[in-house]
Amino acid sequence: MLAINEIFETIQGEGVFTGVPAIFVRLQGCPVGCPWCDTQQTWALNDDDQIDPAQMILKTGDTPAWSSMTAQQVLQLFSQQQYTAKHVVITGGEPCMFDLREFTTLLHQQGYRTQIETSGTFEVRCDPATWVTVSPKLDMPGGYEVRADAMARANEIKHPIAMQKHVDALDALLSRCPVQEGTTICLQPISQRPRATQLAIDICRQRNWRLSVQLHKYLAIA
């Protein structure tokens, strides 16, 4: 069973798949505690907040209400909602708190491409064909360490930065937890601040990394 906070269709606004139509499946529960998190409503997984899937799909605001659904039920909901996107982003919360192997394999069998967005603090359990985006969360209040096996599984590293110390922290992490050859590294300026954006541009040019600019925030789309 998956604890789902919301499901919606939009455009992927970050990382390698920026601009791609996507179905977002946001899971409930995250103990990492990132101070700047913009989905703090997904942190707590309380029984009192559980609602029916029919209510969940009608949510219009950010609330901690969540539904328990099987992988097959989620797929059926995609059909009921008449979604046309074929790229499914599994996010959170922290999606890797859940075993996602059955869900991602089922989606692939039905012609979808899958992507997981994770903090790298839990084991990544998914289909081998799933694109894994690790946004490593270092020294967060929850006290969880970024795992070497999560970094090694990553197809993409997406790292938020505001200052040079954040770049230095990523360098230290990559030295301690190497990624596989060919992994894309994206730098993402925190909150679109001009200074952070220029730093990210400069580092990306120096190292042939990739800039992630959170397109959805610039365009004010969900």
93 is in an annotated binding site: yes
198 is in an annotated binding site: no
C-alpha closest to that of 21 among 111, 88, 104, 76: 88
Distant-in-sequence, close-in-space partners of 107: CB < 8 Å, separation ≥ 6: 71, 75, 88, 114
207 is in an annotated binding site: no
111 is in an annotated binding site: no
Sign (positive/negative) of CA torsion 93, 99, 103, 104? positive
> How far from chain centre, in Å, is Cα 107?
17
215 within 8 A of 191, measured Cβ to Cβ: no
37 is in an annotated binding site: yes
| SS3 (DSSP) at 90 | strand
142 is in an annotated binding site: no
11 is in an annotated binding site: yes
**By CB neighbour count within 10 A (0-12 exposed, 13-18 middle, 19+ buried), where does 47 fall?**
exposed
Structure tokens at 58: 């009608």
38 is in an annotated binding site: yes
Structure tokens at 129: 């064909």
Residue 63, amino acid: T
57 is in an annotated binding site: no
| SS3 (DSSP) at 122 | coil
205 is in an annotated binding site: no
92 is in an annotated binding site: no
Largest CA distance in the chain: 50
126 is in an annotated binding site: no
- Residue set of the binding site for S-adenosyl-L-methionine: 36-38, 93, 135-137
- Residue set of the binding site for substrate: 11-13, 26, 91
- Residue set of the binding site: 11-13, 26, 30, 34, 36-39, 91, 93, 135-137
- Residue set of the binding site for Mg(2+): 39
